[in-house]
């Protein structure tokens, strides 16, 4: 409710959408007629009350530009975002956690020094830089992969790598830090004294104990990716929620922007809730509620 309120007033203070919807030769009377049809000539507090009344009935309104229910528009675009987000999440989780584990186990050795530049590049380069460089190399120079659109698996490769670049670096650093902390614990020394090898210690003990911060970061990254990667989808013309958000903001399509923000907020809440539940599975010592005295 708070997020919806902030977005509602921020959008209505950003400008008049009618001026973007009418042709250049439209008169003031034409604009007044359209403004009346959209209900934008009424006081702002009345529009606000009506917005929440419709929201309570599950009606998020109609798009000013497309003249369709905004839920139908989101329903069409969301599968593209899910496809891109899942591909990027798979790449970031597998690559980031692997690099973090390797850097922790081989701390100070040549293999860690080999991965460090990739982590720094992932943290320093913004998504639009990574995306443009990938397009120049694989689309323009080598002509291996398409640069825009969603026309099959090949179209998914470049945007998913671009979207995963920052997540890989973050996951690698968090995994390395927590792995190093666990490797210094007494139970690891005990396991080594009993003759357990490094692979067994890492797989069966250290990873599980270091899992809580990693799960937290994975949950946050999942919510961010599903919420719509605005920059990445815009660069690659990927028809998901991110590109839809930019288009709706540029057109001042108030109902569509409000619906997207509300939808993304629900995704964040749901993913965070599922992450909390996953804590209990990974570490049984964590309880969902306080035990009675």
Segment 272-285, tens digit of pLDDT: 888 777 777 766 66
Place of tokens 């049984």: 284
- Calpha distance 293→282 (Å, rounded): 25
User: What topology does CATH give the domain 78-282?
Assistant: MetI-like fold (1.10.3720)
pLDDT at 228 (0 to 100): 59
- The per-residue pLDDT of the chain, averaged, comes to 80
| Tens-digit pLDDT profile for residues 22-67 | 677 777 777 778 777 777 778 888 888 888 888 778 777 888 888 8
In the chain, the percentage of residues whose pLDDT exceeds 90 is 2
Domain ranges of the chain: 2-56, 78-282
| Cα–Cα distance measured from residue 231 to residue 49, given in angstroms and rounded to the nearest whole number | 33
Give first-to-last CA distance, the chain, whole Å.
36
Give the tens place of pLDDT for each residue, 93-108: 898 888 888 888 888 7
Q: Are 105 and 198 in contact (CB under 8 A)?
A: yes
Residue that wins the pLDDT comparison between 213 and 136: 136
What pLDDT shows up at residue 293? 44
pLDDT in tens, 34-45: 777 777 778 888
DSSP labels for 210-249? THHHHHHHHHHHHHHHHT--HHHHHHTT--SHHHHHHHHH
């Amino acid at each position: 409710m708070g997020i919806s309120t902030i977005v509602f007033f921020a959008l209505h203070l950003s400008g008049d959408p009618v001026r973007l919807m009418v042709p250049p030769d439209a008169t003031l009377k034409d604009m007044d007629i359209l403004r009346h049809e959209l209900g934008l000539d009424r006081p702002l507090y009345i529009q606000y009350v009506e917005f929440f009344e419709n929201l309570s009935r599950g009606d998020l309104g109609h798009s000013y530009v497309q003249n369709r229910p905004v839920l139908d528009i989101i329903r069409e675009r969301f599968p593209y975002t899910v496809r891109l987000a899942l591909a990027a999440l798979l790449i970031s989780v597998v690559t980031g956690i692997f690099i973090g584990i390797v850097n922790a186990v081989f701390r100070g050795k040549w293999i860690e020094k080999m991965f460090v530049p990739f982590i720094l590049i992932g943290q320093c380069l913004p998504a639009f830089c990574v995306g443009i460089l990938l397009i120049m190399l694989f689309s323009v120079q080598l002509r291996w992969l398409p640069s825009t659109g969603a026309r099959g698996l090949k179209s998914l490769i470049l945007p998913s790598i671009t979207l995963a670049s920052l997540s890989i670096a973050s996951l690698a650093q968090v995994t390395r830090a927590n792995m190093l902390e666990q490797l210094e614990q007494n139970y690891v020394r005990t396991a080594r004294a009993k003759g357990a090898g490094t692979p067994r210690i890492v797989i069966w003990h250290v990873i599980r104990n270091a899992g809580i911060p990693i799960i937290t970061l994975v949950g946050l990254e999942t919510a961010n990716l599903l919420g719509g990667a605005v920059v990445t989808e815009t660069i690659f013309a990927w028809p998901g929620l991110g590109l839809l958000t930019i288009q709706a903001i540029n057109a001042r399509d108030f109902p569509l922007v409000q619906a997207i923000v509300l939808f993304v907020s629900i995704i964040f809440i749901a993913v965070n809730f599922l992450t909390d539940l996953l804590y209990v599975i990974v570490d049984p010592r964590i309880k969902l509620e306080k035990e009675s005295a």
